[in-house]
Amino acid sequence: MPAGKSHVANKEILLREIERLRGHWHKDESFYFSKKGGAYLPIDYDLRIIQDARDAARKAKDAQDILMTFDQAKLDAIVKAMAEAATANAEWLARIAVDETKYGIYEHKVIKNLFASDAVYHFIKDMKTVGIIKEDKEKRVVEVAVPVGVVMGIIPPQSHFTP
């Protein structure tokens, strides 16, 4: 598949997922309303964010359980595909981040996206992350890579206010 086609397909998949998720939440000032059984129930914004984080953590744990069964080659292919998709969509992702959050400078977000997708990938791409990663027969020491669990963090949209 040509690179341009992959870029468009990835963007279309992401847009469909964003629209699907948006369909569950309707904003009205400081409340979001979840449609359940035809009724709209007010949900405090902070509580919704907490629930979203919990849901993301559960999904990440499910994904981790699957990823634990993969060998190094399969994980390398996944990471490479993720980096390529993020690099190909760096400008678009920067635009939607600025448009949605109203924070940041588009050009700076493009640079951050390219660094996170391309530079970081090239730094980590040859790292062994599965099984025995180092062995010292003389000292009888073997280092084995094992999953440590789901790691999550809340990242602020930017580190300073833009005038």
Please tell me the distance from the alpha carbon of residue 154 to that of residue 93, in angstroms, as a whole number: 18
Weakest mean pLDDT among 38-47, 89-98, 122-131? 38-47
Q: Is the pLDDT of residue 73 over 50?
A: yes
pLDDT digit string (tens) for 91-108?
A: 999 999 888 888 889 999
Average pLDDT over residues 57-68: 90
pLDDT at 4 over 50: no
pLDDT of res. 152: 75
Q: What is the DSSP annotation of 61-124?
A: HHHHHHHTT--HHHHHHHHHHHHHHHHHTHHHHHHHHHHHH--S-HHHHHHHHHIIIIIHHHHH
Q: Does residue 48 sit in helix, strand or coil?
A: helix
Share of the chain above pLDDT 90, in %: 40
Distance CA 23, CA 34 (A): 9
Specify whether the CB–CB gap between 117 and 86 falls below 8 A: yes
Residue 149 — very low, low, confident or very high, per pLDDT cuts 50/70/90? confident
The reported pLDDT for the residue numbered 17 is 62
